[in-house]
Structures are given as C-alpha cells and as structure tokens.
Amino acid sequence: MTRGPSSSNAASEPAPSAAPGAGGPLNIGRETVDRPVERGAGARVAILWRDSRGKRHDISYADLREATNRVAGVLRALDVAKGEPVFVMLGHRPEFATAMLGALKRGCLAAPLYPAFGPEPVATRINLARGRVLITTIDCYRRRVAPARAAMPSLQHVLLVAGADEAAAPAGTRLLAPLLDAAGAECEVEPTTEDDLALLHFTSGTTGAPKGALHAHAALRSHVASARRAFDLRADDVFWCTADPGWVTGTSYGLIAPLACGATTLVDEADFDPGRWIERLRGDSVSVWYTTPTALRMMRQLGVDASRVASLPRLRWIATVGERLDPALVAWSRATFGVPIHDTWWQTETGAIMIAQQPGSEVRPGPIGRPLPGVEAAVVRRNPAGVVEPVPDGQPGELALRAGWPSMFRGYLDDDERYRACFCGGWYLSGDSARRDAAGDYWFLGRLDDVVKSSGHLVGPVEVENALTQHVAVADAGVVGVPDPIAGERVKAFVELAPGHAPTPQLIQELLGFARQRLGAAIAPKEIEVLDVLPRTTSGKVLRRILREGAC
Amino acid sequence: MTSGSRARRAPRRDLVRAAVLEVLQAIAPELDTTRLDADRPLREQVDLDSIDWLNVLLRLRDRLQVPIPDSDYGRLTSLNAIVDYLGAPSRHRRSATGDKATGADPLATRIHRLPGNVEVAVRPARPEDLPQEAEFFRHLSAESRYKRFMAAIGELPEKKLRALASADASRQIALVATAREGADEIEVGIASYAVAPDARSCEMAIVLDDGWHHSGLAGVMMADLIDVARHAGLERMDGYVLASNQEMIRFARQLGFTTRHDPDDPRTVLIERSL
C-alpha cells in the first residue's frame, strides 16, 4: 500500500494482534438474535422488509433466531468447519441477514460479496479465500457467478435462494430452501471467543489483488458503541441503512449494529427510486437514516424538495458515509427533510465508525467531526527516519488511529506484509489525508493513494486495468478517479491502443462493454479515453497522478 | 419550429422506444437489445448501477423533454412501462417536438443570467442581424477568428453570414447572444451548426467576443444549441477544434463530447457527442 514516504522499520515492527481464542466468549450471531429473544423481545420486529413490489414483511427476532439456526444447521450438515469462509452474495433481502448471522453462529467466517460484481471480481475474491461455500440467488448465480465458475475450482457448495417464479437449480448448485427445511429449528451456537475471526470484507488497494480484511467477533463491541454514540440508536428506533449488502457498511450498520441495539432495521429490496425512498421514510416511520452523499445528490438531481417530502415527524437523524459532504447538500437536506446531514468517517479496516459529527454537538458543514469515545485519532506524517510524528493543527497529514480498538481489522487474508505496513509506532495509518482545525474537528481531504472512491465505494485501479488489457486492442491502461458531480469520483480509464487499432467511437464503446461484462457496472469504467502514449515513469510504470491531473 | 423535422413525423411511441434503446446502448454497450424482454424490469436484464440508472433517466428526460415528477421514476421499470409513460400524450407534459401551443418553442428567445448577474439573451440570428454580425466578426481578435474558422481570415463572406442567419434548424442555425451595453444591444457570441448530408448529424462552431471568454456564456450557448438540435430531431453533433486550443477541448469534454485526433490532420481534434 502506498502511504507517503515508506517506512524502513514497518516490516520489522510487530503488527498488533491477538491470539485466536484468547478473549472471553462472544458470538455476533448469538448476541444479535438470540440475546434479544432471551430478554423477552422475541416478538419485536428485527427486520422490516419491503420486497421489490413494496409489500411489507415483518421478521421478528424470534423468526430470525429460528432462520439463522437453520442456516447454521445446513452448514454443519455440509461439514463446513469453524473458521471456514462462507460467501454471501445477496441484495437487500432477509436471506442476507439469515445467511450472514447463520454462518456466524456456525463459527464460520462470514464473507459478503457485492451482488453487482461481475464474474471476474467474484472469482478473484472467492479464489483468494479458496472459498468452498457460496450463498446467492439463482439470478445472481446465472449472471455473475456461472460465467466464471470454471475459474473457481475450490467452490463446492453453491446454495441458491429462488425467486418467486424460479424453481430449478442450475447444474452444480443446490436450492437452499429444502436444506433449510431439513435442518432443525434449534442449533447449538459455536462457542467462539471475541478474538475468533468472524467477518471477511474485501477492499481495494492501489496495487495488486483486492485485500481481504479480517475482523473478529469483538468487532460487535465497536458496532454497538458507535451506533449508540453516533446515532443515539435505541430499541424503539427504525433504522435504515441504504448501503448495499456486500460492502462493509451493509454488514456493520445494515445488519449487526441495529440488531445488537434491539432496533428494527429496514431493508428495501428495490433499486434506488426517489419517490419510493420518501415513501419508506414516511410510511415505515424511519427515525435514523444512514445513507451516502451520492444517494442524496441523486434525489436532489431528480427534483426532490421540501414541497414533495412534506413532514417526516419520526425522522430525527441523518448520517452519511463514504464521501466528502458539501455544505450545499447539508443545507438542502435541512430544507428538504427538516434534519441536517451528519458525516461519519471510517473504513473497511476500522470495521466501525471512528470519527463522526455526534449528537449534542453543533453541526458545522465541512468537517467529518471528532473521534468517538475510546478512539484516539491524530494527523501525522512519517519523518525521514520512518517514525510517525504529529503535524500541527491546520496542516494536512495522514489520518492515524491508535491501534487496538475492538473492530480493528486483525489481518489481511494471506498477506501479513501488507497488514504490517498499515501500522507504525502503535498507530494505524489510514491512507486518508486529513487535517484537524483549532476547534478539534477533523477534515477529510482525500486519499493518499490511487484508489478511486466512487459512490462511496473503493475501486482498485489495477483490477480495472487488468480487465481492459485483456482486450486485444488495448496495449496498456491507466485507471483513475475523476471528479463527478453525483458520485464524488467516477472511474475513468486511459488506454493506449495496440498497433493496428484506431481510436474509433465504436472501439471505445466496445471497450466499455468489454469491461462492464467482466467487472460489473459498479466498478467498470464509466469513461474511456484513448491516448497515443500513457505517461510512464522511467521504469515503465503508468503515472496515474499525471492522468488524474490531465483529466480534470 | 421548422418543417422537415423527422422527430415530428415519427410516431411518438416509436420515438420513445428508439430513444430508450439508444440511451441504454450508449451506457451499456454490451447490451443485445434484441434479447430484451420488454415487460421485465430493465435493471433485472441490464447491468446498471444506480449512477447508470440515474443517467438513463436524466438522458431520457432531457432528450424527450418530458418533466418527470420524482414520485413517477418508480414507474419507469420495463421498456414497455417507459414507453407507456413517456409516450403517452398528456396535457401536463410538453410536446417532445417543441409545439408552440405548449409553450416550448426551442427557437424562442432565452434569457440567461451569468455569474456576476450579467443578463444575456440568446435567440436565432435574423437576416436583419447581418450588419451587426459583420461588425462582430471584424471586432474579433485574429486569434479568435483563427480558432473559430481554423484559418486566419479577414472578414466573413456575405454568403456565409447570410446562410448563418437563416433560421431553419433542420438545415442550419445560428444562435446569437446579445447583451446591453449602455443603450445598445450588442452581439457578444454566435453558436451555430450546419446539418450534414445524412440529415442526422450536424457540425457545430462557437465564437465569443474576446471580452466574454470565461464569463459562462459559452456554456449556456452550447446548452441552447444542443437543445435546438435535439428538437430538430438531430442525433449527433460534432466539430473540429485546433489541437492547440486546449481550453476549447476541455470545455467540449465538460459538455459531454468525446475527443479524438483527426486522422487526416494532426493539427485538428474531432469532437463528437450524441444528442
């Protein structure tokens, strides 16, 4: 990972870690669904699901307990071992919750995959973890997994959720429903400890393959504490996190945090639709809404305003994540929803919100807020000796966190070197550039590396470049993020053509389609530009910085 | 509105269907439109993330000139549902062909307020503008003229000016921007296009008075020109820019033009966009 001046001592410094099994007993699956039932809240609505047609389904904590037990039972029956990854590639539907939490109850490593990934990103991630088990839908399997199935030799159990008008499982897969029926409604929860690994979230870096960030069951403590502090989340709240399941936010805050707080989490299956979203906020009495600046900008772009929204008496808090929040959007939100937006800052690696504009403090548009209780943050730089030192207030530096909070990632899958490189002098170095002002508020400035931040998601340039260079007409490619009025950044590819190929509009369209089929719409480039020659270092490495500067 | 606009002759539903398919194809080039099930939601069949979907909706809205209340976006799911919605006649909607009766004449004068509270009017050039137009071109710096006409010419021939001032948007159009200077209304910019022999694409050009660069005028004039071209049923707009005119190339990209070097002339860059 590129993070400013390289540190000579990073590799020799022991990375913070805890021995598996060292902590006390803790299981996220048990804490989120069994505990509320034991406390007598079994009849409360855990998941309020709106299916794609808008029909409401209430899933109680007691329902969820039984459904997760059945998933754990299926995994046990298939001899899926404790600590083994279980990939879950599902959209906004209750099976995402039952698969994830069921896998956790079995003691497995629950690994969500973004259902908009194309076949190549899916295969890369499953192969990195040598995954044997995948739970997805028939439709998703056909479109996004089957084309690359031959490239995933480890994949053994593909368990499919059927849609309303689907019945037969494609070759090499099984329907999940009959297996669930055969499993018992009761299941012993695997006795995990807080240091046993629980979650595997993939994220992207500047170089090489995606990184699999590993989190332990202890992460639950940070999920709960941060939701209480940053959202004041309580059991009588209806909480709506619009993040896609498959990214870390969809798991930490779409699933674990609200259930562990005993609240109701709203899950809406439909794709973005401004009218329907307003209907959700009002009709389902959402009190706390966690979304992205991109989604809010899309609503604004499509004409949503105060006259349309009218009053939302239950809505008391809006928070966003993933991108810089501009003051105009904060003002629009206040005028439209009657509530300003509060920024939160965290990463896949931090597992939970670290810095936020918190209840009880004055809302100032611009800064990301202050560290939550128990989080020690600093703006630092590495001096020439490789030692981390703080920079004075007001000056830019790298945002760093004192290592050791409960949801801190415990490693990158099979990549200890990259993990160690994230720490120096007892600090986790985030790779984000920030400054702290005299009032103590932190300001996010941007990434220090070449990772693209689009619609709140990280896109690794190498993965996109590798897909493009598979095309016969492409000699080389450089991928960067360029400013986008809605998505913050959008993925743009610069390509150098192989000899004998002309930069026609038809070729550009063909390359766009080629990349989209392999990568999926969410990470494929939105724009491709042909350059005669890509800017390179003397060693031949593409200079993305030059491309980025020339692109805007 | 002009005669000869193909947009008006085509049945509205076919027009909408063609527009939807073309917009989808532009965003998702891998799509085989012949395999689309017209009754199934598009997003179940085409890989579109939310930004792609937003772009589909905004392009359709802009292209067909149909105002869509935010509560109605949810109805635009399948190809047939979109054609039903956007293709239906409605007295609440403006006609896609810019029918004067609904007050959407694309050739009406448009008033714009630029940053700094400067007001400009943009309207089609008229024959009586000719003397003023000749004056305008005489006042341009040699550099501006060179960039606009690619060759340093002294004065526009009368014939060219006369052609620019003919307000038939299906063949060519010149929009002039005027601003008040004391008691006078002076011409400060001209944006024009000429339709290619295929009757589907047009070649654009724009030139501003030297004092009006960086005023925001170029952006509003180009938006107006694109709007007029769309209403005339044109499908593409292209233009030639000197490779050395980096400012214009950047500006064109911001307006959604793709740029590439002219294979025939290394000093020239071709700019191009669909409408």
Q: What are the residue ranges of CATH 3.40.630.30 in chain B? A: 110-274
Q: Which among B47, B57, B74 has the least Cβ separation from residue A276?
A: B74
> Is A533 in the B-facing interface, judged by CB distances under 8 Å?
no
**Candidates A274, A490, A516; nearest CB to B30:** A516
For residue B246, give Cα distances in angstroms to A323, A530, B85, B225. 31, 16, 42, 21
CA A75 – CA A103 distance, rounded (Å):
7
pLDDT above 50: residue B3: no
Judged by a CB distance cut-off of 8 A, whether residue A536 touches chain B is no
CA distances from A94 to A49, A63, A184, A337 (A): 7, 11, 19, 28
Q: Nearest-CA residue of chain B relative to A272?
A: B50
Residues A33 and A119 in one domain: yes
**Please, are residues A312 and A282 in contact by the beta-carbon 8 Å criterion?**
yes
**Test mutation, A50, A142, A271, chain B, max B CBs within 10 A:** A271
Q: Which of A309, A338, A367 is the last residue of a domain?
A: A338
At B269, is the secondary structure helix, strand, or coil?
Answer: strand
* Alpha carbon distance A438, A143 (integer Å): 52
Identify which of B28, B44, B54 has the shortest CB distance to residue A516.
B28
Instruction: Clarify whether residues A471 and A537 are in a common domain.
Output: yes
Q: What is the structure's pLDDT at A15?
A: 54
Look at residue B207 and give its three-state secondary structure: strand
Query: Of the candidates A116, A512, A532, which has its C-beta nearest B29's C-beta?
Result: A512
Q: Confirm or reject contact between A51 and chain B (CB < 8 A).
A: no
Q: Which residues of A501-527 are buried (b: 16+ CB within 10 A; e: fewer)?
A: eebeeebbbbbbbbbbbbbbbbbbbbb
In a shared domain, residues A88 and A182: yes
Q: Is the dihedral of CA A68, A71, A73, A79 positive or negative?
A: negative
pLDDT in the model for residue B166: 58
Give Cβ neighbours of residue A392 (< 8 Å, ≥ 6 apart). Answer: none
**Beta-strand pair A264-268/A288-291:** unpaired
Q: Tell me: do A221 and A281 sit in the same domain.
A: no
Contact across the interface for B29 and A455, Cβ inside 8 Å: no
Shortest Cα distance, chain B CAs vs residue A218, angstroms = 33
* Min Cα–Cα distance to chain A from B84, Å: 18
Q: Which residues contact A149 (CB under 8 A, 6 or more apart)?
A: A155, A172
**How far is Cα B236 from Cα A140, in angstroms, rounded to an integer?**
36
Residue keyed to tokens 């299956």: A269
Q: Do A202 and A301 reside in the same domain of the chain?
A: no
Q: What pLDDT score does A252 carry?
A: 98
Asked whether the predicted pLDDT for residue B238 surpasses 50, the reply is: yes
Angle, helix B50-64 to helix A293-301, in steps of 10 degrees: 10
What is the chain A residue with the closest CA to B45? A143
- Count CA within 13 A, CB hemisphere, residue A528: 30
For residues A345 and A444, the answer to whether their CB atoms sit within 8 Å is: yes
A295 and B263: CB-CB below 8 Å?
A: no
In the chain, the amino acid numbered A333 is S
Locate tokens 């501006």: which residue? B144
CB-CB neighbors (< 8 A) of A455 in chain B: 49-51
Q: Would the pLDDT of B210 be above 90?
A: no
State pLDDT tens for residues B126-165: 767 767 777 777 767 666 665 654 433 334 445 555 566 5
Amino acid A16: pLDDT: 53
CATH architecture of the domain formed by B110-274: 3-Layer(aba) Sandwich (3.40)
Inspect the interface and report whether the beta carbons of B50 and A270 lie closer than 8 Å.
no
Q: How far apart are CA A119 and CA B30, in angstroms?
A: 15
User: Using CB atoms, which residue from A490, A514, A521 is nearest to B47?
Assistant: A521
- Chain A, 300 to 339: residues with Cβ < 8 Å from chain B are 301-304, 308
- Facing A303 at nearest CB: one of B31, B70, B74: B70
Q: Which tokens hold the place of A322? A: 């993933």
Asked whether the beta carbons of residue B73 and residue A508 sit closer than 8 angstroms, the reply is no
Q: Find the residue in B nearest to A483 (Cα).
A: B254
Give chain B positions within 8 Å (CB) of A270.
74
Considering only CB atoms, which chain B residues are within 8 Å of A293? Answer: none
Contacts of A540 by beta carbon, 8 Å cutoff, 6+ apart: none
Asked if the model's pLDDT at residue B1 lies above 70, the reply is: no
Q: Are A515 and A468 in contact (CB under 8 A)?
A: yes
CATH value at residue A92:
3.40.50.12780
Overall number of domains in chain A: 3
Secondary-structure class of domain B6-99 per CATH:
mainly alpha
Question: How far A440 CA sits from the closest chain B CA (Å)?
Answer: 35
Residues of chain A numbered 141-200 and touching chain B (CB < 8 Å): 143
Contact B49 A455 (CB under 8 A): yes
Question: Cβ contact (<8 Å) for A505 and B74?
Answer: no
- Identify whether residues A89 and A165 lie together within a single domain: yes
User: CA A368, A369, A374 angle in degrees (round to 5)?
Assistant: 120
Q: Residue A145: which of A165, A166, A164, A169 has the closest Cα?
A: A169
User: Given the structure tokens 């896949």, which residue do they identify?
Assistant: A348
pTM of the entire structure? Answer: 0.73
Min Cα distance B132 → chain A (Å) is 37
- List of chain B residues whose C-beta atoms are within 8 Å of the C-beta of residue A503: 260-261
Identify the domain containing residue A289 by its residue range: 276-320+332-338
Task: Give domain status of residue A158, yes or no.
Answer: yes
Q: Is residue A265 part of a domain?
A: no
CB B18 within 8 A of CB B96: no
| A63 & A196 share domain | yes
Which residue among A486, A508, A521 sits closest to B54, beta carbon to beta carbon? A486
> What single DSSP character describes residue A193?
B
CA-to-CA separations, B237 to A197, B110, B240, B252, B270, in angstroms, rounded: 57, 21, 11, 11, 11
Is residue A21 within 8 A of residue A4, CB to CB? The reply is no
Who has greater pLDDT, A379 or B104?
Answer: A379
- Position B8 pLDDT exceeds 50: no
> Rounded CA gap, A158 and A173, in Å?
5
Complex confidence, ipTM: 0.79
Q: What's the CA angle centered on A323, arms A322 and A325, to 5 degrees?
A: 125
Residues of chain B with a CB closer than 8 angstroms to some CB in chain A: 26, 28-31, 43-44, 47-54, 57-58, 68-74, 258-261, 263, 272
Helical segments of A155-245, H only: 176-182, 219-231
CB contact under 8 A, A298 and B54: yes
Burial of A146 (0-12, 13-18, 19+ CB in 10 A): middle
Q: How many residues does the structure list for chain A?
A: 552
pLDDT at B97: 33
User: Within this chain, do residues A183 and A297 fall inside the same structural domain, yes or no?
Assistant: no
A272, A309, A325, B74, B91 from A303: Cα distances, Å: 14, 11, 19, 14, 20
A36 and A124 both lie in a single domain: yes
A113/A7 Cα distance (integer angstroms): 33
pLDDT band at B68 (very low <50, low <70, confident <90, very high): confident
Residue A57 lies in a domain: yes
Q: Which residues contact B51 (CB under 8 A, 6 or more apart)?
A: A294, A298, A454, A455, A484, A486, A487, A490, A526
φ/ψ of residue B112, rounded to 5: -120, 145
For residues A152 and A145, give the distance between their C-alpha atoms in angstroms, rounded to a whole number. Answer: 9
User: Which amino acid type is present at position A471?
Assistant: H
Whether B121 has a pLDDT exceeding 70, the answer reads yes
Q: Please, are residues A175 and A162 in contact by the beta-carbon 8 Å criterion?
A: yes
pLDDT given at position A485:
87
Of A294, A290, A286, nearest in space to A242 by CA: A290
**pLDDT by 10-residue block (mean), chain A, 552 residues:** 39 49 87 95 96 91 98 98 98 97 98 94 97 96 95 97 82 95 94 97 86 97 96 95 94 98 95 88 95 93 82 91 87 90 96 94 85 96 88 94 97 95 95 93 90 89 92 94 90 95 94 96 94 87 86 50
Domain match, A219 and A287 both: no
Closest CA–CA distance from residue B49 to any residue of chain A (Å)? 6
- CB of A509 within 8 Å of any CB in chain B? yes
Which of A272, A509, A529 has the CB atom closest to B53's CB atom?
A272
Instruction: Give residue B159's pLDDT.
Output: 54
Query: Would you say residue A544 lies in a domain?
Result: yes
Q: Write down the pLDDT at residue A404.
A: 94
| Integer angstrom CA distances of residue A353 from A79, A292, A340, A402, A403 | 35, 14, 19, 14, 14
- Number of A/B CB contacts below 8 angstroms equals 94
Q: How confident is the model at residue B235 (pLDDT cuts 50, 70, 90)?
A: confident
Read off the CATH number of the domain in which A457 is found.
3.30.300.30
The answer to whether the beta carbons of residues A77 and A179 sit under 8 Å apart is yes
Give the residue from A273, A292, A494 with the most B CB atoms within 10 Å of its CB, the best one to mutate: A273
Residue A178 shares a structural domain with residue A281: no
- Please check whether residue B137 is in contact with residue B156, taking contact to mean a CB–CB distance below 8 angstroms: yes
**Whole-angstrom distance, CA of residue A291 vs CA of residue A248:** 13
Are A157 and A227 found together in one domain?
A: yes
Which of B30, B52, B274 is the best substitution to test chain A (most A C-beta atoms within 10 A)?
Answer: B30
What SS3 class is residue A69? helix
